[in-house]
Amino acid sequence: MRIARSTRMGCIACMVTAFLLSTVAIGHASAVPETGTTKNKLTPSVTFTTPPLKTLTDSEVKNAIQSAKHLSKAFRHISNQLLPSVVAIENRTENSQTTGQTPNGMPSRGGVGSGVIIDPNGWIMTNNHVVAGAGSIIVRLHDGREFMAEQVMTDPKTDIAIVRIPNAKNLTAAKIGNSNGSYVGDWVLALGQPFGLESTVTAGIISAKGRGIGLSDSENHIQTDAAINPGNSGGPMVNLDGEVIGINTAISSSSGGSDGVGFAVPINLANWVANQLIDHGSVQRAFLGVGIQPITQKLADHFNVPPKQGLLITHVLPKSPAANAGVRTGDILLKFAEARVSAPNEFQTFVERAKIGQTYQLTINRNGTLQNLNCVPQSQPNRPAESGGKQMNTSHSNRTSSGRLGIRVGDFDSTVAGKMGIDATEGVLILAIQPGGQAHRAGMVPGMILTEVNHKKIESLSQFNQLMSELNLDESLLFLTKSQNGSQFVVIDS
């Protein structure tokens, strides 16, 4: 049906093109000046004809085919080299039931994913979501042997897990590469068991790097157009050197299958997690204690800096490593340990993998002045309990409205903020937002707390009213907001 539709559209396009050609030709002819006049002729009309297809010489054809064969041989070599390292992993529970059929008519069981052997002593890397739960983990090797895993260790924050199978001989470990040395446009292969079809290989390129897709807390994914489907999770992504550079983990799909947008955890991150699990039984992460956000063009205009160069500090936890180093809200972080930073997930990876207790240099821009600060990361504390999304009781709050901005705000106290899971003692609470208004278009929502406007602190409702009366509302305003999701600078356009 799609081909037929495209064909019809092609015919319509041909008729439109023919009409345009005839129209241009008529217009050009009618514009020819009469004999004896001094008018200049119009520029020749644009030609819409398709250039003739160049006929390749026998030598050119031979070279083109040879180049394609070279790439085919590379794919073949990598596949033969890597497939013995790729395993099928079944998370088998007592209630495991068939959930459908494979294309060859055989029943396929749920909870089947992929993995890759990273050590000949039986260590296998996969995804946390492949092995999560209370089931028995069954590993099936490329040669058909099956083993029940004796150790399973997981890290939900990166969706990485490692399992160990006992007494397995003659295992072929995959070669681990360097994901930092892979670039957008590089060829990659994805190996695994999509839809239960074992030993499947697909090819594509790296479409992007540093993707955050919201599936786990710590993300810095490689994006690829190599087909990744359900069942590929945990399998390796490899480069043309046959080295593992990622662990396939997710897809973006409207159909449930591959739409050409797949994601893999970079192997440098996955390998670090695996070593942490093997050495310590858990992942020991460092933290600085700051909130950050990328610098958009609107924020760049307010801070007088280039966009997408550095990260804006939105919050500094009291007594944290960042606070001890002298970092302030509103600073622009340019470098961490001499590495330039511009993406939040990239910076998060740098910090989490830093050595706890070691001194690192931070380069910041504070009001146009560059400064170097020394920071000593600490062990990442446990995440505080969620607030549960309780609503604020503001029935007795003093209130005021800002018609130009489309918001209504009121007083609050720290007790109320604490019940909402927001660490704030000063500011005003957004009670209501006018749909389609300036604040609504900027992304503000009821329940946010406004703590600054144009770098001036908001301590109370009366001070907010005073500041708003002094500001030029025909210019864009920069607010610092707090919510359950943390602190964020928001620009409201005039």
Write down the catalytic residue from 79, 114, 129, 331. Answer: 129
- Is 155 a catalytic site residue? no
97 HSE (CA, 13 A, CB side): 2
For tokens 């005073």, the residue is 466
- Is 159 a catalytic site residue? yes
Beta bridge partners, 211, equal 221
With beta carbons less than 8 A apart as the criterion, state whether 214 and 148 touch: no
Indicate the pLDDT class of residue 19, thresholds 50, 70 and 90. very low
18 to 9, 11, 455: CA distances (angstroms) = 14, 11, 61
Write down the catalytic residue from 233, 258, 402, 487. Answer: 233
Mean per-residue pLDDT of the chain:
82
Beta bridge partners, 160, equal 127, 155
Q: Is the model more confident about 300 or about 95?
A: 300
- Is 129 a catalytic site residue? yes
Nearest residue to 363 (alpha-carbon basis) of 336, 325, 326: 336
Write down the catalytic residue from 85, 155, 159, 331. Answer: 159
Per-residue pLDDT tens over the stretch 240-293: 999 999 999 987 755 565 566 889 999 999 999 999 999 999 999 999 999 999
Can you give the pTM of this predicted structure? 0.73
At 462, is the secondary structure helix, strand, or coil? helix
Largest Cα–Cα distance in the chain?
Answer: 101
The mean pLDDT of 441-466, rounded to a whole number, is 90
Q: Is the model more confident about 199 or about 173?
A: 173
> pLDDT at position 424, please?
79
239 to 75, 177, 180, 267: CA distances (angstroms) = 10, 8, 12, 12
Nearest residue to 488 (alpha-carbon basis) of 460, 433, 457, 449: 449
Q: Which two tokens stand for residue 244?
A: 């593992």
